[in-house]
């Protein structure tokens, strides 16, 4: 049964892995691309796919590895504290993002978007600190943690630069903007 925790760890390292490997990634891409004309479609839908999926897989990983969070099973108190300081803030930030991201979907206001950007930025800072702590006790975690840090930085850039994000959460005019962003295809049967 050692393979299941290993797979879960690979999928959830830093709890926000930017992609799902294999079939899951293709399915996510297909679904998000098919919905690109919807307000929550395209890359924005892919972000939420990763956010909620990462939270679910993180919960499963925590449930499978509960011994990792109990000091008696770790032995060395210093290693245990470094582990907790490295992992726990990222997991907490993930669940804060899930709550805030859900509110953002419901209210779609510039103020909530601003808060959400701050949370993604804070998550990146937490990830950077976690990598620093990993250098002290578990350098093997650094490559996967770096993937999460890069993902946070890319998503933060997306939330600052995306036309969809601006139209859906700031201007609240996606229905008008979608025609310019994704012009309707000409009907091939007319003519």
Tell me the per-residue pLDDT of 73-128, one tens digit each, with 9 for 90 and over: 667 778 778 878 888 899 999 999 999 999 999 999 999 999 999 999 999 999 99
174: three-class secondary structure by DSSP = helix
User: Is residue 105 a part of any domain in this protein?
Assistant: yes
User: Is residue 191 a part of any domain in this protein?
Assistant: no
pTM: 0.80
162: three-class secondary structure by DSSP = coil
User: Is residue 187 a part of any domain in this protein?
Assistant: no
pLDDT at 189: 58
What whole-number distance in Å separates Cα of residue 86 and Cα of residue 74? Answer: 15
User: Is residue 61 a part of any domain in this protein?
Assistant: yes
Q: How confident is the model at residue 62 (pLDDT cuts 50, 70, 90)?
A: confident
User: Is residue 22 a part of any domain in this protein?
Assistant: yes
User: Is residue 117 a part of any domain in this protein?
Assistant: yes
Please tell me the total count of domains within the chain. Answer: 1
pLDDT at 15: 44
| CA pseudo-torsion sign 6, 9, 10, 11 | positive
Q: Which two tokens stand for residue 179?
A: 């025609």
User: Is residue 23 a part of any domain in this protein?
Assistant: yes
Query: 167 lies in which domain range?
Result: 3-181
Mean model confidence pLDDT for the chain: 84
Taking the CA atoms of residue 79, residue 80, residue 83 and residue 85 in that order, the dihedral angle to the nearest 10 degrees is -110
User: Is residue 189 a part of any domain in this protein?
Assistant: no
Dmax of the chain from CA atoms?
A: 77
Question: If you ran DSSP here, which 8-state letter would residue 39 be given?
Answer: T
Q: How confident is the model at residue 25 (pLDDT cuts 50, 70, 90)?
A: confident
């Amino acid at each position: 049964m050692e393979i299941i925790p290993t797979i879960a760890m690979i999928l959830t390292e830093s709890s926000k892995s930017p992609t799902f490997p294999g079939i899951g990634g293709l399915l996510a891409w297909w679904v998000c691309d098919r919905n690109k004309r919807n307000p929550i479609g395209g890359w924005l839908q892919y972000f939420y796919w990763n956010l909620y999926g990462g939270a679910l897989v993180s919960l499963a990983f925590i449930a499978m590895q509960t011994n990792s969070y109990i000091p008696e099973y770790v032995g060395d108190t210093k290693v245990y504290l470094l582990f907790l300081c490295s992992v726990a803030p990222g997991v907490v930030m993930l669940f804060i993002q899930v709550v805030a991201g859900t509110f953002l979907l419901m209210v779609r206001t510039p103020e909530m978007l601003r808060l959400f950007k701050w949370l993604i930025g804070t998550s990146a800072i937490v990830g950077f600190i976690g990598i620093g702590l990993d250098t002290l006790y578990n350098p093997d975690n650094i490559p996967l943690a770096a993937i999460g840090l890069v993902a946070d930085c890319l998503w933060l850039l997306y939330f600052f630069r995306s036309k969809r994000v601006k139209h859906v959460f700031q201007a609240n005019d996606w229905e008008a903007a979608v025609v310019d962003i994704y012009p309707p295809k000409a009907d091939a049967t007319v003519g």
